[in-house]
Amino acid sequence: MSRLPRRTWSLFSTTALALIGSISIILVFALTAVTWFVMVPMAKRSADDLAALIVLSAQTWTELPKEAQPLLAAELKNQHGLIIQEIPALNRLHSTNLPYVRFLHNAVVHRFNQCPPGTIDPQTGECIYMGSLPQGAGYWIEIPIADDVLKFEFSPSRVGYKIPFTLGVILVGGILLTLLLGLGLARRLTRPVSRLAEQVSLGLPDAPLPLTGPKETRVLIEAVNRRSAEVKRLVENRTVLLAGISHDLRTPLTR
């Protein structure tokens, strides 16, 4: 049973795959490093700043008289994009899939250590709850303080660092840049060899091929030129020899 011939890859394909693979590995390491050492610390710092504002606003709300609380609510909404309101009881539902929101929840829990009796969840040991508003309108966080339960709402634009979105943009841009860069470099590196292969496939060149391309390609072109010159000399010597024999025999020589 005859075996099927193995598929051979062109020099351009193998070079492009090698370059794209190498650049992709570098891109993954760079993206991981940027995420871990730059984006995550910045997102945590931004979440901690927002948590400080929320906790301070909650504490200030309970200390203000009822007639002054609307003024604080208006200032928070106009200056910081926060909506504050009192609610009857805690929702006790967690929905914090967004990394920044998880950072914010942890920062508020770290700063707020005054859970009133009866508000601590026996499973989590916390009294701070966060979730998403309907139809992606934003996020909410509930804080029990003194005898009140305060609910803060803020829009997605208030989220300082959208890590998944940012990573997605960087990843898509990196993939496109990797493909363009890999294909461009592969074409530039393999073009001299491809031209040489095309010229040799058409037969021995009449004139020496120009020395172009990198050092290795120039060495290959020089070797082809030497072999071409040797073959030409052999053909010329053979022609002279046959012409001499034909003249000596005075008979036509056919091949």
Which carries the bigger pLDDT value, residue 42 or residue 116? Answer: 42
Where among 109, 139, 164 does a domain terminate? 164
- Is 89 domain-assigned? yes
Report the alpha-carbon distance of residue 46 to residue 85 in Å, rounded: 23
Co-location of 25 and 103 in the same domain: yes
Report the alpha-carbon distance of residue 72 to residue 59 in Å, rounded: 12
pLDDT at 115 over 50: yes
Co-location of 139 and 71 in the same domain: yes
pLDDT of residue 134: 80
Co-location of 72 and 123 in the same domain: yes
Report the alpha-carbon distance of residue 103 to residue 113 in Å, rounded: 17
pLDDT of residue 219: 81
- Is 249 domain-assigned? yes
The string of pLDDT tens digits covering residues 190-212 is 777 777 777 777 766 667 777 77
Where among 146, 164, 182 does a domain terminate? 164
Co-location of 138 and 220 in the same domain: no
Co-location of 15 and 119 in the same domain: yes
Using pLDDT thresholds of 50, 70 and 90, give the confidence band for residue 112. Answer: confident
Structure tokens belonging to residue 21: 């693979």
Co-location of 128 and 234 in the same domain: no
CATH number of the domain where residue 72 is located: 3.30.450.300
Report the alpha-carbon distance of residue 103 to residue 30 in Å, rounded: 23
Structure tokens belonging to residue 207: 């004139």
- Is 233 domain-assigned? yes
Co-location of 220 and 109 in the same domain: no
- Is 118 domain-assigned? yes
What distances in angstroms separate CA 106 from CA 23, 48, 73, 233, 234, one per listed residue? 37, 9, 24, 84, 85
Which carries the bigger pLDDT value, residue 249 or residue 13? Answer: 13
Co-location of 239 and 156 in the same domain: no
Co-location of 17 and 135 in the same domain: yes
- Is 184 domain-assigned? no
State which residues form the domain around 208: 204-255
Which carries the bigger pLDDT value, residue 236 or residue 55? Answer: 55
- Is 149 domain-assigned? yes
Q: What percent of the chain has pLDDT over 70?
A: 86
pLDDT at 140 over 80: yes
Residue with tokens 């005898």: 147
Residue with tokens 């037969």: 203
pLDDT of residue 95: 62
Report the alpha-carbon distance of residue 24 to residue 217 in Å, rounded: 27
- Is 114 domain-assigned? yes
Where among 137, 164, 191 does a domain terminate? 164
Question: What total of structural domains would you count in the chain?
Answer: 2
Nearest C-alpha neighbor of 30 from the set 174, 161, 160? 174
- Is 183 domain-assigned? no
Cβ atoms 151, 87 nearer than 8 A: yes
Q: Count CB atoms within 10 A of the CB of residue 50.
A: 23
Per the prediction, the chain carries an average pLDDT of 79
Q: Count CB atoms within 10 A of the CB of residue 7.
A: 5
Half-sphere exposure of 162 (CA within 13 A, CB side): 11
Q: What's this model's pTM, rounded to 2 decimal places?
A: 0.64
The string of pLDDT tens digits covering residues 16-46 is 888 888 888 888 888 888 888 888 888 888 8
Q: Give the max Cα distance, the chain.
A: 131
Co-location of 33 and 140 in the same domain: yes
Q: Is 111 helix (H, G, I), strand (E, B) or coil?
A: helix
Co-location of 115 and 26 in the same domain: yes
Burial class (CB in 10 A: 0-12, 13-18, 19+), 186: buried
Q: What phi and psi, each to the nearest 5 degrees, are found at residue 160?
A: -70, -45
The length of the chain in residues reads: 255
Co-location of 68 and 143 in the same domain: yes
pLDDT of residue 1: 46
